[in-house]
Amino acid sequence: MNLTEKMYSAARELYASLGIDTEKAMAALDEIPLSIHAWQGDDVVGFEDTGHALTGGCQVTGNYPGRARTSEELRQDLDEAMKMLPGKKLRVCLQGHEMDMLRPGQDRDNLDIENFAGWLDWAADRKIGMDIAPAYYSHPKLDRGLSLSHPDKAIRDFWIGHGQSCRRVAAAFARRLGTAAVCNQWVPDGYKDTPADRLAPRERLQDALDEVFSEVFPETEVLDAVESKLFGIGVESYTVGSYDFYLPYAAKRNKLICLDTGHFHPTESIADKISAICCQQGRILLHISRGVRWDSDHVTVLDDALLDLGRETVRNWNGNNIFFTLDYFDASINRVAAWVIGARNWQKALLIGLLEPSKEIYEYEERGDFTARLAGKEAIKLLPWSAVWNYYCLSREIVADCKIMPLIRNYEQQVLAARE
């Protein structure tokens, strides 16, 4: 036995003494889907080749060499990243402007699956699922910061056409790939300064979204999500699609509510929202991100917030009520490394949740023994989850964390350097 196997064998014995089956935990982790966000690879620029800058209140900072400039290069980078990710249910999520090509005269309001043919074949070859989100930003029709809630009907109709197109593309992905596609609506609309009328934009957004969703698809094809936000750069004073707008919208129309971990006040616990929504049969799309002082979209690290999210996910997940997409964009570091580090940290947070001997802690709490609850929760932190994680990677023939950088450097020299 090598060192990883020896450490795992001891950890397995310890967890077994606490009633936790580490083999079962690793097998469960294999089956939890994770959608890798393509837009970390192209800095959310997309491939329409129209030179539109990133708008909508998001920011990508840094100019690390090697950004993917075409969908082919992006797929090449995603292939490299996924070699370093364990799990049997990896997927990829696109933005609506990351198509393979736009046909002459075509615009975002009338896209179809042909625009994404390269993605469809690539995913079919790899037997992975695809998700897609309309890009209601980085386009001249995002006018005065408004898209679906714009007072001009022609502008709303353009964006409704884009949202409807993306849902049809999602359905086409699902039919060919055999797995439902999540189609998430994030609408950047809002105002830099205090609005006069907070109601009218929200009434227009509600009606426009109802039109986007008017074409009915079975949930075996399209899983619709709506994403709330607190503010963006240049959208500091009012976001039309706030959490208070979308939570009832999603509940009444049986849509997934998308909780982006960067879209709430820094002291808010997103983990706490999971049970509150799931216990009422609500369904969630998690956008796994890390805000530093604001929705800065930093690469996720294994911090307390991510651990809480992993623990609550394991506690509430029934296989069909919570869906997962990474969502961050850091252009100051190697973009393949950003995917790999962030994805593996989320998988670690889930494994730690799966390994937690929480039954006993719940019993202390039920009995009102809050002393034992505190002592137990702190003692759990010392359990050897990393020995299980290292063995999980070894047994799935995935590189160990300490061996990732040589692979990243090699790809950088062989492929990314040639793009500059």
Burial 250-268 (b: 16+ CB within 10 A, else e): beeeebbbbbbbbbbeeee
| Cβ atoms of residues 357 and 380 within 8 Å | yes
Taking the complex as a whole, the smallest distance from the CB of residue 288 to Zn ion amounts, in Å, to 9
Provide the β-strand partners of residue 158: none
Active site residue 260: yes
Please identify which of the residues 42, 80, 100, 227 carries the catalytic annotation: 227
Q: Does 229 bind Zn ion (CB under 5 A)?
A: no
d(CA 108, CA 167): 13
343 binds, among ligand RNT, Zn ion, none (CB under 5 to 8 A by kind): none
Q: Sort strands 238-239 and 256-260 into parallel, antiparallel or unpaired.
A: unpaired
From the candidates 77, 327, 330, 356, which is the catalytic residue? Answer: 327
Q: How many angstroms from the chain centroid is the CA of residue 419?
A: 27
Let me know if 30 is a catalytic residue.
no
Element spanning 190, H or E:
strand 190-191
The DSSP code sequence of 11-42 is: HHHHHHHTT--HHHHHHHHHTS-EEEEGGGTT
Q: For this structure, is 295 an active site residue?
A: yes
Residue entry with tokens 């994404």? 116
Which does residue 229 bind out of ligand RNT, Zn ion, none, counting CB within 5 to 8 angstroms by kind? ligand RNT
Q: Is 327 in the site for Zn ion (CB under 5 A)?
A: yes
b/e sequence 170-185, b meaning 16+ C-beta within 10 Å: bbbbbeebebbbbbbb
DSSP 103: P
Residue closer to ligand RNT (CB basis): 189 or 327? 327
Residue 229 annotated to the active site: yes
Q: How far is the CB of 405 from ligand RNT (least distance, A)?
A: 27
Instruction: Count the site residues for Zn ion by CB under 5 A.
Output: 3
Tell me which stretch binds Zn ion (CB under 5 A): 73-81, 151-159, 285-293, 389-397. Answer: 285-293
Q: Does position 287 bind Zn ion by CB under 5 A?
A: yes
What Rg do the C-alpha atoms of the chain give, in angstroms?
22
* Partner interacting with residue 174 (select from Zn ion, ligand RNT, none; CB below 5-8 Å by kind): none
Minimum separation from the CB atom of position 27 to ligand RNT (A): 31
Q: Would you call 162 a catalytic residue per the annotation?
A: no
Q: Catalytic pick from 73, 131, 189, 295?
A: 295
Which of 43, 100, 260, 330 lies at the binding interface for Zn ion (CB under 5 A)?
Answer: 260
- Under the rule (CB under 6 A), what is the footprint of ligand RNT? 39, 44, 58, 95, 133, 186, 227, 229, 260, 287, 295, 327
Active site residue 287: yes
Cα of 285 vs its chain's centroid, Å: 8
Give the active site residues. 186, 227, 229, 260, 263, 287, 295, 297, 327
Interface residues with Zn ion (CB under 5 A) are 260, 287, 327
